[in-house]
Structure 1
Amino acid sequence: MKWKVMGEGENIIELLLKNRGIKDKDNFLNPPPPKSPLKIPVKAIKRVELAVKNQEPVIVYGDYDVDGICATAIVWETLNKMGAKVLPFIPRRENEGYGLSIAGIDNIDTQTKLIITVDSGIVAHEAVAYAKKKGIDVIILDHHEKPKALPKAYAIIHTDKLCAAGIAYFFSCVIASEARQSLLELAAIATVCDMMPLTGVNRSIVKHGLKSLNETNRPGLKALYDVAGIKTVGVYEIGYMIGPRLNAAGRIDSALTALRLLCTKDIAKAQEWARQLNDINKERQAMVEESVTHAHQAVSSQQLAVREKIIVIEHESYHPGIIGLIAGKLTEKYYLPSIVISKKDGVSRASARSISGFNIIEAIRTTEKLLINAGGHPAAAGFTIETTNISDFKLQIIEYAKLKLTDNLLEKTLRVDCKIDIKNVNHSLFTALCTLEPYGMGNPQPVFCSEVTVLNTRTMGAIGQHIKLTLENGLEAVGFNMSHFAAKLKAGQKVSLAYTLDLNFYNGKTTLQLKIKDIIFH
């Protein structure tokens, strides 16, 4: 792995802000309450007001991931409080598929006069036209990459600077003429889980949303905290504990369970649904583990990571709800864009993950004549395809990758913020770094590098897969899944460590700890 060291010096906070392109230091370190960057069309506001006044049936048409679920909850709760005759609708992955669809429209209330889509709709040309024929107006709230031509919806509210729940939050603030903290906390969950850059307005959403999440009155979130063992909510808890449980329902069951959990005021039901989501998540974890093992075997046996610049695999056993997770694991291991296809009779579904510098949705759209539909972002996307077209798709996308993926793009690079003397690593530095939180996309946890002398090395973990180093000044460093370094590390040896700083709580003691990202031997 190549290291790219961004700077060196003692004024560490200033250097970190510079590395992140932060020019307004005060606003970054002390984010103001979130202010909308959107221009909400007046016609969209008037249409909602008319629907409320005339008691027209309204559907909030969501999506089955965390962003879609939270966005649906935000708009539904807002309209419900305004007195609208409104129902939420989350498509089932296996039946209606992703986004606004003709099948989905056929499954909603036949009296519906207005559909508000959240987290989808920007590529739903046929579905929007179909709704219009049925006398249904469609307002689209979406953040996915725009196609060349937009659907002919009643109104479109779009930005790629916010997640769908962020758009839904600001839309709700306008139509209801108030900003509610209970909605901001849902926008914060989605902003983290949808991996939006935590700068600008997104940083404000998460910073203020975290405060609300830790003081929430939602029975569903409280129940979820209990089953997950969460005491304090931070970005980690959202991304790795709350998000996966909310996501699990839409992956292998019905996302309505997660939506009901977020919106219910019934404590007993909240506890029941939280337990259900916890159980579904365990099932999802087992499915992913089995499928990822199968996928690694397929990549290895076909030498895909050696022969090609993009991994494309398909199999009948891959559940469509977890193919994105499989693709993510493949990209993480091989550092190649990965596309995983859930192969079925007739129509198959695919999910893709990419590496820095390779726009995966742009790549997929070069094969659009072979696809039924496609949508997503530069780093993650999905599409449906007739199964008979998979072979041709693979040939075309592999050729495209050969042309666009240079050796430079395929070399994994570790971005190191600052080279510092190990003697300057102390609690004062850690406290100063905390002012940069919350960390996330666009504002990653700072990575440092230092030359150190290793005094002792030992392995730990159930199968000795991790390492712990004792360093010259009494500091300890841990490397997860880095046991392959253990045999090379000798007492008294000088090495360069790339690491992040964290606190370790053990036996009532709090100590500073380095989390190793990589090691260079001299």
Structure 2
Amino acid sequence: PGLEALKKLANIRKGAFLGGRDIAFKLAPRLNAPGRIDDPDLTLKLLLERDPLRAKVYAEKIEALNRRRREIADGIMKDALERTRALYGERPRTGIVIDGEGYHPGVLGIIASRLADRFGVPAIVLGYEEGIAIGSGRRAGAFNIHGALLDCAEYLIGFGGHEAAVGVRLEPSRVDAFREAFAARSESLGTAPSPPLDVDIEVGGAFELPTVEELGALEPLGEANVSPIFALPAIVEEAKPVGEGGAHLKLRLKVGRRYISGFAANYSEAPPEPGASIRAVGELGRNTFYGRDQLEVSIERLISDP
């Protein structure tokens, strides 16, 4: 009953296919919200509750906490972006370390992940608690952020994590020195070429664009079963910058005789003109729009055809 109530609040239709993206972007953030900013027992109560009416009450409390979590994260993200630009410029070329008074400890990992995605460099975000700087870090690309901290350990009280995510503790007086050491450890990132992107499936010729149902047969996708990379020859119907400062690109594409949407995160080039021929390389996923499932390509590379 608890998950069904939460799915309804997350606009997941009853009986609809539940994929990895639904879990990662719709359910997991809600289940995590109480532990981030309030009491994690609320999530446990929701999952154990057998009575639908009480489950609905728990789900509504979690939904309210998730809205509050987004508000907190959005406020901190705005400040973190200003600090990032002040310290590193518009396009950081090294790993970044951002600190701020009043940063809520429950959302530091979210902010680090957003910064890493936006700028394409590893990011560590620090808040202050009981006189200690405490933070979370996220990698960008294949960068081993835990390995980088091994080289910066002299500046830290302690740290832990893995290649993709870390937690750190240090004295406030050592933040600036740690920032410099972390930047030096990752200084080659800004000049390194983009890593090669292995294409699994070339659409065209004998292979047509899959349907939403065919794509669902590959689930569950994740670390041990990664989503295949498609290369799609397409005609641009529409392309417009979206998000804060137009940081991302939203597209409508014609692939063969079908139309799909496309999304390119942190797209810094000029948008392609309507009618342009492109090759969109990335993961195909399902996007539910007004109750209808549609294909969407998350674009990793956008290449103009001559």
Q: Does TM, scored on the shorter chain, surpass 0.5?
A: yes
Q: Is 1:469 matched with 2:253?
A: yes
1:421 to 185, 204, 217: 204
1:488 to 272, 275, 278: 272
Partner-residue secondary structure (3-state), 1:276: helix
Give the letter for the 1:290 counterpart.
G
Question: Is the CA contact 2:237–2:251 (under 8 Å) kept in the aligned structure 1?
Answer: no
Give me the whole-angstrom Cα distance separating, in 2, the residues matched to 1:515 and 1:323.
29
Give the letter for the 2:22 counterpart.
E
Query: CA 1:470 to 1:272, structure 2 compared with 1: closer, same or farther past 3 Å?
Result: same
Partner-residue secondary structure (3-state), 2:106: coil
C-alpha displacement at 1:391, in angstroms? Answer: 2.4
Give the letter for the 2:280 counterpart.
L
Structure that is richer in strand per residue: 2
Q: Is 1:439 matched with 2:217?
A: no
Q: Is 1:317 matched with 2:98?
A: no
* Identity across the alignment (%): 27
Cα RMSD after superposing both structures:
3.4
Give the letter for the 1:252 counterpart.
I
Match of 1:180 in 2: none
Match of 1:51 in 2: none
Query: CA 1:299 to 1:414, structure 2 compared with 1: closer, same or farther past 3 Å?
Result: farther
Query: CA 1:437 to 1:348, structure 2 compared with 1: closer, same or farther past 3 Å?
Result: same
Query: CA 1:252 to 1:407, structure 2 compared with 1: closer, same or farther past 3 Å?
Result: same
State which structure, 1 or 2, has the greater radius of gyration over its C-alpha atoms: 1
C-alpha displacement at 1:337, in angstroms? Answer: 0.8
Q: Is 1:519 matched with 2:305?
A: no
1:248 to 33, 56, 60: 33
Give me the whole-angstrom Cα distance separating, in 2, the residues matched to 1:227 and 1:299.
35
How do residues 56-455 of structure 1 correspond to structure 2 at under 5 angstroms? 219-230=1-12, 231=14, 232=16, 233-303=18-88, 306=91, 308-344=93-129, 346-402=131-187, 407-408=191-192, 411=194, 413-421=196-204, 424-427=207-210, 433-452=215-234, 454=235
Q: Is 1:478 matched with 2:261?
A: yes
Question: Is the CA contact 1:458–1:486 (under 8 Å) kept in the aligned structure 2?
Answer: no
Match of 2:238 in 1: 457
TM-score, normalised by the number of residues in structure 1: 0.50
Give me the whole-angstrom Cα distance separating, in 1, the residues matched to 2:127 and 2:194.
29
Give me the whole-angstrom Cα distance separating, in 1, the residues matched to 2:28 and 2:168.
23
Give me the whole-angstrom Cα distance separating, in 2, the residues matched to 1:367 and 1:515.
38
Partner-residue secondary structure (3-state), 2:226: coil
C-alpha displacement at 1:224, in angstroms? Answer: 1.9
Give me the whole-angstrom Cα distance separating, in 2, the residues matched to 1:485 and 1:391.
33
Give me the whole-angstrom Cα distance separating, in 2, the residues matched to 1:494 and 1:426.
17
Query: CA 1:375 to 1:405, structure 2 compared with 1: closer, same or farther past 3 Å?
Result: same
Give me the whole-angstrom Cα distance separating, in 2, the residues matched to 1:262 and 1:486.
47
Give me the whole-angstrom Cα distance separating, in 1, the residues matched to 2:290 and 2:58.
34
Partner-residue secondary structure (3-state), 2:166: strand
Give me the whole-angstrom Cα distance separating, in 2, the residues matched to 1:508 and 1:395.
49
Give me the whole-angstrom Cα distance separating, in 2, the residues matched to 1:456 and 1:236.
26
Give me the whole-angstrom Cα distance separating, in 1, the residues matched to 2:44 and 2:130.
31
Query: CA 1:307 to 1:474, structure 2 compared with 1: closer, same or farther past 3 Å?
Result: closer
The unaligned stretches of length 5 or more in structure 2 are none
Give the letter for the 1:383 counterpart.
V
Give me the whole-angstrom Cα distance separating, in 2, the residues matched to 1:501 and 1:396.
38
Query: CA 1:425 to 1:516, structure 2 compared with 1: closer, same or farther past 3 Å?
Result: farther
Give the letter for the 1:489 counterpart.
E
Q: How many residues align?
A: 297
Give the letter for the 1:228 counterpart.
A
Partner-residue secondary structure (3-state), 1:488: coil
C-alpha displacement at 1:253, in angstroms? Answer: 1.1
C-alpha displacement at 1:398, in angstroms? Answer: 2.6
Question: Is the CA contact 1:422–1:450 (under 8 Å) kept in the aligned structure 2?
Answer: no
Give the letter for the 2:3 counterpart.
L
Give me the whole-angstrom Cα distance separating, in 2, the residues matched to 1:386 and 1:292.
23
Question: Is the CA contact 2:93–2:121 (under 8 Å) kept in the aligned structure 1?
Answer: no
Question: Is the CA contact 1:335–1:412 (under 8 Å) kept in the aligned structure 2?
Answer: no
C-alpha displacement at 1:308, in angstroms? Answer: 4.8
Structure that is richer in helix per residue: 1
